[in-house]
Amino acid sequence: MLVIAAPGQGAQTPGFLSPWLELPGFADRLAAWSDLAGVDLIRCGTTADADEIRDTAVAQPLLVAAAIAAAESLTGEQVPLKGLTAVVAGHSVGELAAGAIAGTISPENAMRLVKVRARGMAAAAAAVPTGMTAVLGGDQEQVLAAIEARGLTPANINGSGQIVAAGTLAALAEFAADPPPKTRLRPLTVAGAFHTSFMAPAVEALARAAATVPSSDPVLALLSNLDGARVRTGADWLQRIVAQVSSPVRWDSCTQAMARMGASAFIELPPAGTLTGLVRRALSGLEILALKTPDDLSAARQMLAEHASAPDASHAPEWRLLVAAGAGTFRAAGDGTQAAGAAVAAGAVLGQVEARGGGHQVAPTFAGTIIEWLVEDGDPVGAAQPLLRLLPDGRE
């Protein structure tokens, strides 16, 4: 089983698209998408310097366009990539590219959405001084506890001994002064605390834009950063990529799903390198390729031929987890949580996580049936802690 993955913000490097523009049709696709993204994708991918492409409003459209165009060059066909038996996943903004590759939305609508997402997140980041710090090594439970103790959020739980803490610069400074045992900290050069509650204004803007975009059910197995679940419908995927802006990226759950689905090979689309490193440490025995330049296409096509004709992936979890967006105390709605077996509607408020300075509601973005609660009323919970398991409607 082949996995095709699109990287997230921070993977871009100056000039990484230069060799790709020599391929027939590649520059034409980027030129057409530039108008939709509000960014000169060709210039930004070739001659722009590191500071310019670090800008969230530039980086995100550039990454999505690069991944989609490279996927088309890989197969010689425009997306979606029909006729393959493969799993598709994206890290953070890479989910928009993955969605287009799997056929949930068109590339043009992916560029329209990433424009709104990028500008909304850039504006939200500018409103409050926030940032992100990668925490490498250490015991995961100790790291998560230390992040929570400083009022930070585990914005990326990447597995392979890597968690990204996000929050105010003051809280990150306190965290750096007293790091968890046996860890190394690496401040990230990003504009703000992505995938945290600080991004709430961007969620609202993206939700409005997503409501205008038609969607289709994916033609390839498509994994979600929210919990590693396989997404079955275009409508669910749209809800998930909106919620993902202020929710932690669970790349660890995605790699676990890949293992359950029998992944045997992994191709990372350009600008490749980040995700291949994570997967190499998390999963053993995979054939792994970072598709960095057109020179790598021959090897990538050989992997397609060898690994994309396996039986369809059917072992991704049918159920989904609802997780806490931040730390606090769980309070059940009404007289108590609904019992296992109860049907719940999309958006139904099942409780809330109360925290100093505010909290957040616990509500699924899809209709489903409660399988089991993993917490009780009054329990303290940490950011990204699973709260309950749900079986979405439409499943066997």
Distance in angstroms (rounded) separating the CA atoms of residues 232 and 300: 27
Nearest to 32 by CA among 70, 7, 65, 1: 65
Strands 320-323 and 328-332 come out as: unpaired
Asked if 195 is an active-site residue, the reply is yes
The packing angle between helices 26-37 and 56-75, to 10°, is: 150
CA dihedral 57, 58, 64, 68 (to 10 degrees): 150
Q: Which amino acid is at 306?
A: E
Distance in angstroms (rounded) separating the CA atoms of residues 41 and 26: 11
Asked if 246 is an active-site residue, the reply is no
Q: Active site residue: 106, 195, 197, 253, which one? A: 195
Nearest to 32 by CA among 106, 132, 133, 138: 106
SS3 273: coil
Distance in angstroms (rounded) separating the CA atoms of residues 219 and 101: 9
Residue found under tokens 């105390």:
329
The string of DSSP letters for 17-37 reads TGGGGGSTTHHHHHHHHHHHH
Q: Active site residue: 34, 73, 91, 92, which one? A: 92
CA dihedral 115, 15, 296, 79 (to 10 degrees): 20
CA atoms in the 13 A half-sphere facing the CB of 313: 30
Instruction: Give catalytic residue positions.
Output: 92, 195
